[in-house]
């Protein structure tokens, strides 16, 4: 059907052109009639040899090629849309993961800070307890030393008194002076 429409259209084209001139029909002019007859013969020869089939076959192949390219472009576009959607989804997931990591890092940092403060307080408390124990030990040692010196002085004073010498008063005064020195 497609192959018959073109020769018919070519055959009726001069008729449509000549319809406007009623005095002189197109076939009355021998040049026009000869040219038309040659055209018709040429078109029949081309149709007999398969020229129209070849031309329309090439046009069909070209149309199929264009349709294939359109289909490929459509498929690529859909694939690109899917990839873009996947990329956007992955970007959102990455943002959410990054936010989660930041939150965990902040929570870990807060926990570490609290632990460090608690450790520092415990360490300071231990150091204070050690210092207080040392001070108490030093006080106890000083009190024991004072008692020992006082006992030595009292013993020496008692010995001097018992032996009846006058030096006992001097020894007692020296012992009291030494006790005062050690206490201060």
Q: Do 146 and 182 form a contact (C-beta atoms < 8 A)?
A: yes
127 located within any domain: no
Tokens of 58: 């090439």
CB 141 within 8 A of CB 122: no
- What pLDDT shows up at residue 23? 67
Condensed to tens digits (0 to 9), the pLDDT of residues 154-178 reads 777 776 666 665 566 676 677 777 7
d(CA 123, CA 161): 56
Pair 32, 78 in one domain: yes
Instruction: Please indicate, yes or no, if residue 14 is contained in any of the structural domains.
Output: yes
Q: Look at the chain and report how many structural domains it folds into.
A: 2
* Judgement on whether residues 55 and 141 belong to the same structural domain of the protein: no
pLDDT interval class at 97 (50, 70, 90): very high
- pLDDT score of 25: 72
- Of 76, 109, 142, the position where a domain reaches its end is 109
Higher-scoring residue by pLDDT: 114, 177: 114
Q: Name the DSSP letter for residue 164.
A: T
Answer yes or no: do 160 and 70 share one domain: no
Say what the pTM is. Answer: 0.39
Rounded to the nearest integer, the mean pLDDT of the chain is 83
Do residue 9 and residue 78 come from a single domain? yes
- Distance between CA 20 and CA 176 in Å, rounded? 158
Kindly state whether residues 14 and 102 are assigned to the same domain. yes
137 occurs within a structural domain: yes
Provide the domain limits for residue 146.
Answer: 133-183
Tell me whether residue 153 is in a domain: yes
Boundary-marking domain end, from 94, 109, 124: 109
- Nearest-angstrom CA–CA distance, 12 and 31: 17
- DSSP per-residue letters across 60-113: HHHHHHHHHHHHHHHHHHHHHHHHHHHHHHHHHHHHHHHHHHHHHHHHHHHHHH
> Cβ atoms within 10 A of the Cβ of 97, count?
10
Same structural domain, 100 and 147? no
Mean pLDDT of 23-51: 84
Task: Examine the fold and report which residue of 109, 141, 168 is the final residue of a domain before the chain moves on.
Answer: 109
């Amino acid at each position: 059907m497609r192959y018959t429409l073109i020769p018919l259209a070519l055959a009726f084209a001069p008729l449509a052109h000549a319809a406007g001139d009623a005095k002189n029909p197109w076939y009355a002019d021998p040049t026009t009639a000869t040219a038309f007859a040659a055209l018709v013969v040429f078109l029949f020869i081309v149709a007999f040899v398969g020229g129209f089939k070849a031309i329309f076959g090439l046009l069909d192949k070209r149309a199929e090629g264009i349709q294939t390219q359109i289909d490929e472009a459509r498929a690529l576009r859909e694939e690109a849309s899917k990839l873009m959607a996947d990329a956007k989804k992955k970007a959102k997931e990455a943002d959410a993961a990054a936010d989660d990591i930041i939150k965990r890092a902040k929570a870990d940092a807060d926990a570490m800070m609290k632990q460090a403060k608690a450790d520092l307080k415990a360490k300071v408390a231990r150091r204070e307890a050690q210092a207080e124990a040392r001070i108490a030990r030093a006080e106890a040692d000083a009190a024991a030393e004072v008692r020992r010196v006082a006992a030595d002085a009292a013993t020496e004073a008692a010995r001097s008194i018992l032996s009846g010498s006058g030096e006992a008063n001097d020894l007692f005064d020296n012992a009291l002076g030494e006790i005062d020195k050690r206490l201060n």
